A = this chain, B = another copy of it.
Amino acid sequence: MCTFSFFPFLRAQSRGMIKCKKCNQVEFIQKSGIMRGKQRYYCKSCDYHFTIGDENTPQEPKRHHEVTIMDIARQLGISKSTVSRALRGHTDIHEGTRQMILDLAKELDYEPNPLANALLKRRTNIIGMLVPEFRHYFFPTIIMGAQAVLSKAGYNLMIFQSDESYETEVANVKALLRSRVDGLLVSITGKTENFDHFRTVLQKEVPLVFFNRVCPELETPQVIIDDYSGAFQAVEHLIEQGYRRIAHLAGPSILQIARLRMQGYVDAMQKHGLPMDESLIVYHDLTEENARLCARHLLDLPQPPEAIFAVNDPSALEVLLLAKQRGIKVPQDLGIVGFSNDPVSALIEPSLSTVDQPVWEIGEQSALLLLEQLDQPRVETKVLQTRLIVRDSSRRKG
């Protein structure tokens, strides 16, 4: 209904009456291509290119942003340096000024932005933690122990789980590194044979502490338990109970904990002059299904074992369950000892003998060791003690 005549500026534009943004002249304007969809003009007079923008679009009112150190400075008419000093508790600042700043900061509910800080200082105050699994009580408890120490020291925890997959482990380490964590707490999978991803960590000088499942090739601080003597005691206990044909449900031999427990088993057998039967040693990869298979394999043996020492409680439990299912009497006809003292071991019937390890403390000590590394890189190995707990699954004397 309305015609152009009512909108002179529209007419001007529609007829090419474009004014130069600089000199406001019209006669020297010519088109000069299209710029992201908009017509572009060129003023010969002042040698200036321009497009007709939406300068009239109501500029949003300085988008919502959180209160910064600059806001405080502006309101107080001082510089951001001074505010920073006051907030950081620095010296070189007047007591009155500091109070002013502190008061306003509280009033505005100012929270320092850790991102800006991290960018500048190159430390995120985040510790990365990588565990193989979450299913049983073991690793969650370690995490709790580590978190107690770390959060007291002002660090947050970023947790990943590799799910016993080497590929996931590699990917997780990469992700952790990308996130610029200040340090790493790691327990490897049962399948990790190549340690290049950890070499990268070391090369980037990111502090790295292994716990429980440690890396045998790398010179790094670590927290382990006395696997060997734990295993030795367990097997010796079985021998004392009169079991002779003792099997070992072992872990993957690439894991140091598995090798040491195996060695304890072997040495205890030899010490008591018992013959080593290779067929009584089976390896599993620490997954639940695989443990079940191995348990079946052992009990299906033409000449089944009289007792089984398992590398950890979850696998010992699989043996126990299968035995119960088949009506095999534990401990009379089959002795079982596990490793790690999972709470379930005490609840099940018959209760499971096992080797106790200070799980929470593993977490604590790992965290403490890592905290040390942040100051002073120094390779150290902490060894925590184990303790045999004899329960019903292996007690057939006294």
Contacts and interface: CB of A to CB of B under 8 A. Distances in A.
Interface of A: 66, 111-116, 118-119, 124, 126, 134-137, 140-141, 143-144, 147, 151, 156-161, 175, 177-180, 204, 317, 321, 343-344, 347-349
Given A137-B135, A347-B347, A348-B349, A178 B143 contact: no
A66 B137 CA distance: 39
A396 B335 CA distance: 32
The 9 closest A-B pairs by CB, nearest first: A349-B349, A134-B140, A115-B119, A115-B118, A140-B140, A159-B159, A134-B144, A347-B348, A344-B344
Contacts of A118: 115
A337 to B, nearest CB: 18
A114 B114 CA distance: 13
B161 A158 contact: no
Given A111-B178, A115-B115, A348-B349, 20 more contacts: A115-B119, A115-B124, A116-B119, A134-B143, A134-B144, A135-B140, A135-B144, A136-B137, A143-B159, A147-B160, A147-B161, A151-B160, A151-B175, A156-B160, A156-B175, A158-B158, A321-B347, A343-B344, A344-B347, A347-B347
A383 B156 CA distance: 32
Contact of A317 (B114, B178, B347): B347
A244 B197 CA distance: 62
Contacts of A126: 158
Given A178-B111, A180-B114, A349-B348, A161 B134 contact: no
Nearest to A174: B111
Contacts of A344: 343-344, 347
Nearest to A344: B344
Nearest to A350: B349
A347 B288 CA distance: 15
Contact of A156 (B66, B135, B158, B347): B158
Nearest to A116: B119
